[in-house]
């Protein structure tokens, strides 16, 4: 049967090492789903869900990127995508909390890997819709997790969702605070609540409310110091130095900003390696050097970031294109119009 379907290009069999995968044409998938009775559909979907859930990594409970999960995420994300499409298109699959959790995990991992933010938002919105269909408690931790993950993806996309982003950040902080009130001794709750405040501060910088953002970052820094030293919590301290540097840059304190960016670079490498966060900090350092007037150093650094982003994320990734634009602008200001073009 598989040979017949493969001959008609409805099924494709691929071998990778000692593993063999079977991919089915989307039209065939839709026809199969359409022909199934609701009871059979839910039974088959449930079995597929169990298989995927066993292999697909769960998101960090404190929403910290974990590079070690990247390989498994990339391998099994297509299967999570198939589950989401089946859930969205049939309208007959029973909503369940563990399904919402799987789709949340997928959305978070997309931010973690910095791949396709729009796709990540679809996962998270589906997870949220399932919770609504279940009338799940409005101040549950998973709702704050979803708010936070969506806001992180919004920040990757740009300013298009600025108003909605603000409301989600506020809601996430309110939920985190309520959860923390019920268990004040939990380090996990403390980290999540503190990070929610930091995320809100990041947004406030974008709307030029620097004074309020600074207050939030300082309160976060005091919390970080309670937890431990910088090398024990490099991701959190990276955010503090990065955000503080951005504030200094906006206020025109360029030498201080440069020093803070350099510390953020060191800690980001320790936290995640030379990945997207490391490159993001370097990109902002290059922007600061340009504003300070050191155009050649800024150009050299932007070129380094561009090469790394193009290799890691591709020529047409939004971050790569931002680096390309910055390089063009610097060539213009340096008077090299041919390279700027």
Domains annotated on the chain, with CATH = 228-341 (1.25.40.10)
What is the reported pLDDT for 115? 85
How do residues 92-134 score in pLDDT, each as one tens digit? 899 999 999 999 999 999 999 998 899 999 999 999 999 999 9
Q: Report the pLDDT value the prediction gives residue 30, as an integer from 0 to 100.
A: 60
Give the count of beta carbons closer than 10 Å to the beta carbon of residue 232.
10
Confidence class for position 8, pLDDT limits 50, 70, 90: low
Contacts of 268 (CB under 8 A, 6+ apart): 234, 235, 238, 242, 277, 278, 281
Average pLDDT, integer, range 197-214: 94
Determine the straight-line distance between the first and last CA of the chain, rounded to whole angstroms: 56
- Nearest by Cα to 21 from 30, 31, 13, 10: 13
The answer to whether 86 touches 294, Cβ cutoff 8 Å, is no
Cα 58-66-175 angle, rounded to 5 deg: 60
Query: From CA 340, how far away is CA 334, in angstroms rounded?
Result: 9
Q: By three-state DSSP, how is residue 56 classified? A: coil
- Which pLDDT score, from 0 to 100, does residue 297 have? 97
For residue 80, pLDDT over 60 is answered with yes
DSSP 8-state class, residue 317:
S
Half-sphere exposure of 206 (CA within 13 A, CB side): 16
The region of weakest confidence among 26-40, 54-68, 82-96 is 26-40
pLDDT digits (tens, 9 = 90+) for 273-303: 999 999 999 999 999 999 999 999 999 999 9
Q: What is the pTM of this model?
A: 0.87
Cα separation, 186 vs 120, in Å, equals 29
Work out the pLDDT band at 221, boundaries 50, 70, 90.
very high
Query: Exposed/middle/buried for 137, CB within 10 Å: 0-12, 13-18, 19+?
Result: exposed
Asked whether the predicted pLDDT for residue 320 surpasses 60, the reply is yes
């Amino acid at each position: 049967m598989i040979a017949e379907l493969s001959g008609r290009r409805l099924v494709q069999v691929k071998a990778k090492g000692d593993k063999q995968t079977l991919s089915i044409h989307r039209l065939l998938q839709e026809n199969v789903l359409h022909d199934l009775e609701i009871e059979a559909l839910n039974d088959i979907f449930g079995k597929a869900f169990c298989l995927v859930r066993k292999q697909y990594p769960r998101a960090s409970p404190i929403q910290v990127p974990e590079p070690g999960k990247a390989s498994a995420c990339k391998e099994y994300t297509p299967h999570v995508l198939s589950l989401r499409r089946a859930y969205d298109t049939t309208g007959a699959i029973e909503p369940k909390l563990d399904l919402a959790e799987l789709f949340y995990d997928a959305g978070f991992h997309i931010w973690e890997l910095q791949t396709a933010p729009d796709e990540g938002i679809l996962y998270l919105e589906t997870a949220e819709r399932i919770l609504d269909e279940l009338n799940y408690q409005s101040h549950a931790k998973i709702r704050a997790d979803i708010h936070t993950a969506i806001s992180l993806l919004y920040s990757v996309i740009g300013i298009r969702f600025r108003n909605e982003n603000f409301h989600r950040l506020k809601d996430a902080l309110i939920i985190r605070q309520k959860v923390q009130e019920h268990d004040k001794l939990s380090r996990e709750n403390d980290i999540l609540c503190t990070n929610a405040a930091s995320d809100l501060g990041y947004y406030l910088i974008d709307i030029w409310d620097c004074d309020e953002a600074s207050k939030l970052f300082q309160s976060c820094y005091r919390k970080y110091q309670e937890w431990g030293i910088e090398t024990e919590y490099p991701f959190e301290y990276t955010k503090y130095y990065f955000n503080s540097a951005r504030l200094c840059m906006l206020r025109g304190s360029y030498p201080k900003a440069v020093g803070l960016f350099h510390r953020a670079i060191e800690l980001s490498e320790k936290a995640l390696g030379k990945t997207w966060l490391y490159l993001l900090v370097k990109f902002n350092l290059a922007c600061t050097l340009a504003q300070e007037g050191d155009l050649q150093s800024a150009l050299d650094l932007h070129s380094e970031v561009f090469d790394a982003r193009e290799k890691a994320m591709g020529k047409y990734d939004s971050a790569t294109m931002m680096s390309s634009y910055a390089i063009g602008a610097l060539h213009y200001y340096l008077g090299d119009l041919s390279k700027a073009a």
